[in-house]
Amino acid sequence: MSQPIFRFEFDFDVPVPEGTEALLLRCARQCLRAEGVSLPSAAYLRFTDDDSIHQLNREYRQVDRSTDVLSFPSAAFSPRQTAGHAPQLLHREWDPELRACVLGDIVISMDHVRAQAAEYGHSVTRELAYLTVHALFHLMGYDHMNDKDKEQMRAMEEKALNAAGISRVSDDELIAKAKDAMQFSYSPYSKYKVGACLLSADGRLFTGCNIENASYGATNCAERTALFKAISEGAREFVTIAIAAEKSLPWPCGICRQALNEFAPDLRVIVACGDERDEMNLRDLLPHSFGPSTGTGDYLGKD
């Protein structure tokens, strides 16, 4: 699936942290990707305070208190039906001026955002990202009225947040685990130890090290060791890989780039050596790539 087209129409009653618009747009695109929505989409997003959201709760929900977020879907999805499985319903919400299907309206209380960020011990930007993703899945037909629905919705939220780089696992933790894996490296020929830590879309971590062989061709890189472990345990979607080495930044080789591209063409690739680190997207490391998302038949010249 190509990069989803999404836009927010922002309304600011109160100030928000710098960079909020770009962050939430990235999150929204990952929500569409996770849901499988290919139609250009949009939503209205208002940032306000507790007093204003309290008033909206009284007016529209008969709830006499403030809440962190409100969602008002445009499409009337039936139970168990979501946007990715009902494109015809979504298309009815087409706005010719925005050139997008309007998912609905979202209202977020920045008072609640700051309070909950402090309560849960994470940043205001992470709390904003979570509430926006939560609201967007509501707009796309998800709910949490029972345990099964709540579990499904939560899995989609985690998938989108991880893909947007808002994982519960920090980059520092990924790099630390990659460095731990590096210590198990079997590299008697190159003397170049490498470790990797791969984060799946469902939040699982898979580590690997490079394993060399006297025939050289039988050598396996750390990235593929981690990838193959993950595939063998049922993981199929990945959002970030951290790769660590002792002597230089360990950018993945061509074979590893192709192997990773098979499952995660939008993968974040973080490389680290000591205190030095860098990051690129796999699409930039492997331009003009081919795989399941692009159609190998086109590459091979087949119909």
Residues 54 and 201 both lie in one domain? no
State the Cα–Cα distance between residues 226 and 200, nearest whole angstrom: 11
The amino acid that residue 57 corresponds to is N
State the Cα–Cα distance between residues 253 and 221, nearest whole angstrom: 8
Q: What is the CATH number of the domain that holds 140?
A: 3.40.390.30
Residue identified by tokens 């925005």 is: 98
What values do phi and psi take at 46, rounded to 5? Answer: -110, 130
Are 102 and 37 in contact, with CB atoms under 8 Å apart?
A: no
Per DSSP, the three-state class of 270 is strand
| Residue 279 domain boundaries | 171-298
Residues 198 and 111 both lie in one domain? no
Residues 261 and 288 both lie in one domain? yes
Residues 35 and 98 both lie in one domain? yes
**Half-sphere exposure of 112 toward its Cβ, with a 13 Å CA cutoff?**
20
Q: How many domains does the chain contain in total?
A: 2
Residues 16 and 157 both lie in one domain? yes
Predicted pLDDT of residue 2? 58
Q: What is the pLDDT along the chain (303 residues), one digit of tens a residue?
A: 556 899 999 999 999 999 999 999 999 999 999 999 999 999 999 999 999 999 999 999 999 999 999 999 999 998 878 999 999 999 999 999 999 999 999 999 999 999 999 998 888 998 999 999 999 999 999 998 899 999 999 989 988 888 787 877 888 899 999 999 999 999 999 999 999 999 987 778 999 999 999 999 999 999 999 999 999 999 988 989 999 999 999 999 999 999 999 999 989 999 999 999 999 999 999 998 888 866 554 443 333
Distances (CA, A) of 40 to 5, 98, 139: 5, 9, 15
**Number of CB atoms found within 10 A of residue 218's CB:** 9
Residues 154 and 180 both lie in one domain? no
